[in-house]
Amino acid sequence: MNNQINKSTHEYFSNIGSLFTLLPLTTRMISSPGALYGGGKIDYTTDTSPIKLKWFDLDEEIFLAESSQIYLELSLIQKDTNSVYCVYNSFRKEPTDVTHLPEFHHIEYEGHVNQEENEKIMLNLIKKILSDVIQNNERDLSFFLNNQKIRKLDEIVSRLPNITKLTFFEALRLLNEDTKNPKYKKFTIKDNFGFWEEVRLTNLLEDMVLVKEFPLLEVSFYHSAIMGKTPQVANNSDLIWPGYREIAGSGQRIKSVDELFEKAEVFNLPKEDYEIYLQSRKLPDYKSTSGFGLGWERLLQAYWTCPLFGLYHTSQE
């Protein structure tokens, strides 16, 4: 099945004209350096989760990449390059549990597209991968799933890319109506949108769910804002698998030089490390981009363990 995922991924991106890109696994630029809760600055040295390395004779520590997204963005600066992708290892200083690995594999894409088109590309990639696995790996799937569950998996895949989409505000409202818990009236991710909420939301809607427009300062710094929204929200989305949890995240990147520098200041980024990325917006022919990251192991685990709604017990207790 891993072989089929790899084959399907490269076929899909080749068919849409996206270029495979070689990227480093060591970096000083962390793609997801934390989130702000309550508006306070993060401490870049303690609120991030990269794995640090002492690299040969360098005075400064460097990190193992936890995403290739920033380098994919920089790859698009090349002339006549419209979209790029990579399939690489990512590393995060997180304890292993049912849905987390300190080392995992990322399928990542970046292109000169808006967020709406970016989401379509992401959903169609997942449809391609899963359709190919169902068609070509039935014997392998049958080790984990009976025929009824394989048919259910096929039904889920058939709805792609036309799945349920709702804003983070709407998601919280549904959870509040379902649980009567007043905490969901607070517009925040912290303590309000974890494993339980993701599972419960897909059970309530009986569908894969694309949750959009998260609180702007509670997601990665590079996500652009949707203008005119109060409170401020990001032009981003997370894809949540039925009865499981998020398997992919996407977003449109900040284009404005001033806005990016302001966000770098708010997130307390060390500008000397991010100088190349920050300065990229000053190029005269810079074009805005959007992209996504799909967790390989989460996708694999999701479709062989959670193909039916309500598979996980959803009591908050």
Query: What pLDDT is attached to residue 304?
Result: 77
Query: What pLDDT is attached to residue 38?
Result: 55
Per this entry, what is the length of the chain? 317
Q: Which CA distances in Å does 186 have to 38, 115, 127, 181?
A: 12, 26, 34, 11
pLDDT, averaged per 10 consecutive residues of the chain (317 residues), comes to 97 98 92 66 66 89 91 95 96 86 95 98 97 94 88 88 96 97 95 92 92 94 94 97 93 95 87 91 94 96 67 47
**CATH of 2-305 among 3.30.930.10, 3.40.50.740, 3.40.50.1980, 3.50.50.60:** 3.30.930.10
The three-state secondary structure class of 242 is coil
**95 preceded by cis ω (within 30°)?**
no
Query: What pLDDT is attached to residue 43?
Result: 67
**161 preceded by cis ω (within 30°)?**
yes
Beta-carbon-side half-sphere exposure of residue 279 (alpha carbons within 13 Å): 6
Query: What pLDDT is attached to residue 299?
Result: 93
Chain centre distance of CA 24: 20
Query: What pLDDT is attached to residue 36?
Result: 64
Instruction: Outline where 112-194 has alpha helix (H).
Output: 115-136, 138-141, 147-158, 168-179
Q: What is the C-alpha separation between 282 and 285, in angstroms, rounded?
A: 9
Cα-only R_g, the chain: 20
Instruction: Outline where the chain has alpha helix (H).
Output: 2-15, 69-75, 115-136, 138-141, 147-158, 168-179, 195-205, 257-266, 271-279, 296-305
Query: What pLDDT is attached to residue 293?
Result: 97
Q: What is the C-alpha separation between 280 and 145, in angstroms, rounded?
A: 48
For residue 217, give the DSSP letter. G
